[in-house]
Amino acid sequence: MTLGGHGVESTPNNMLEQDNINKPSHVAIIMDGNGRWAEQQGQPRKVGHEEGMEAVRRVTRRASERGIDVLTLYAFSTENWKRPPQEVHFLMQLPIRFFDTFVPELQEKNVKVNMIGFEDKVPTSTKKAISKAMEQTKDNTGMILNFAFNYGGRAEILEATKELCKKVASNELSVDDIDERLFEEHLMTHSIGDYQDVDLLIRSSGEQRLSNFLLWQNAYSEFYFSELLWPEFNGDVLDEALLSYKNRQRRYGAL
Ligand code: FPP
């Protein structure tokens, strides 16, 4: 496990450009620290989320430039409903504004939008904005920008299990047919295709926990923790994480 520092200026950018050796295909980020950043600025929490949205733009741009195949961002967890109603409302509105202003650039960069999570409880206007962005970018062949919105890892695994049980009960499947590949076909991340496994998991704000994020998919991922709060995050910090990943040896249990 690595704890990222603040050495943004020291990142050797040229070491990452056009370099496919040890590049993660799937990068997933737990964007943490919006509230603390706002508090430090003496601002309401929503200002932190607003700046967090700018960090999403910066990191999306850099990840796409670096040739990452899938960037999954944890934007709203199934546990985030416990926050005060005004904050939940603000977080639900963010995708509407984000896609309204960012889709033209995503088109230009050939980025395809995807979403994982539960649709229940998400306001119709938010669902519409997300579906519209997915529809507008569906033919893009570059990076997949995958938002985890109203997502929870345990709930995802339970849903997959229920689906499989139903298929066994109706004789569509036998218990012995169930293997990792079939299980993955029933996970929400099936929608991102070949890159369901996370290669590099990044979390900002110095916290070092998984918070119910992609529990199955992170089984063999490398972790990178940054002390920076999410609104401070940028492309150079992503480069630091990519550089750290580049120097890791992944053994998947072998020698
Ligand atoms: C965690 O910070 C952040 C969230 C729960 C929301 C993440 C949302 C964004 C980064 C905005 C971008 C979203 C879209 C859809 C473009 P926190 O509020 O838990 O911070 P704290 O731990 O300091 O209180």
205 near 228, Cβ under 8 Å? yes
Whether residue 208 is contained in a domain is answered as: yes
Q: Would residue 19 show up in a list of annotated catalytic residues for this protein? A: no
Measured in angstroms, how far is the CA atom of residue 117 from the centroid of ligand 1?
16
Whether 211 is in the pocket of ligand 1, judged by its Cβ within 6 Å, is: no
CA dist 51 and 104 (Å) reads: 20
* Annotated catalytic residue within 19, 22, 80, 140: 80
Whether residue 255 is contained in a domain is answered as: no
Whether residue 71 is contained in a domain is answered as: yes
Whether residue 215 is contained in a domain is answered as: yes
Residues of the chain with pLDDT under 70: 1-19
* Annotated catalytic residue within 32, 69, 197, 199: 32
Both tokens assigned to 12: 């050797």
Q: What is the CATH number of the domain that holds 193?
A: 3.40.1180.10
Residue-level pLDDT at 129: 98
Model pTM?
A: 0.93
Whether 70 is in the pocket of ligand 1, judged by its Cβ within 6 Å, is: no
Measured in angstroms, how far is the CA atom of residue 154 from the centroid of ligand 1?
20
> Whose alpha carbon is nearest atom 8 of ligand 1?
75
Residue-level pLDDT at 10: 43
Whether residue 14 is contained in a domain is answered as: no
Whether 117 is in the pocket of ligand 1, judged by its Cβ within 6 Å, is: no
Question: For the chain, how big is the Rg over CA atoms in Å?
Answer: 18
Whether residue 178 is contained in a domain is answered as: yes
Q: Would residue 234 show up in a list of annotated catalytic residues for this protein? A: no
Residue-level pLDDT at 20: 73
Measured in angstroms, how far is the CA atom of residue 53 from the centroid of ligand 1?
8
User: How many domains does the structure of the chain reveal?
Assistant: 1
CA dist 195 and 121 (Å) reads: 28
Whether 126 is in the pocket of ligand 1, judged by its Cβ within 6 Å, is: no
Whether residue 253 is contained in a domain is answered as: no
Residue-level pLDDT at 113: 98
Range of the domain at 114: 2-7+22-246
Which atom of ligand 1 sits closest to the CA of residue 207?
Answer: 22
Reported as a single tens digit per residue, the pLDDT across 94-133 is 999 999 999 999 999 999 999 999 999 999 999 999 999 9
Both tokens assigned to 105: 């650039």
Looking up tokens 């960090």 gives 55
Measured in angstroms, how far is the CA atom of residue 39 from the centroid of ligand 1?
13
Residue-level pLDDT at 3: 37
Whether 63 is in the pocket of ligand 1, judged by its Cβ within 6 Å, is: no
Query: Which residues, 6+ apart, have CB-to-CB distance to 190 below 8 Å?
Result: 184, 196
Q: What are phi and psi of 190, to 5 degrees?
A: -55, -30
Measured in angstroms, how far is the CA atom of residue 93 from the centroid of ligand 1?
13
Residue-level pLDDT at 13: 55
Which atom of ligand 1 sits closest to the CA of residue 230?
Answer: 10
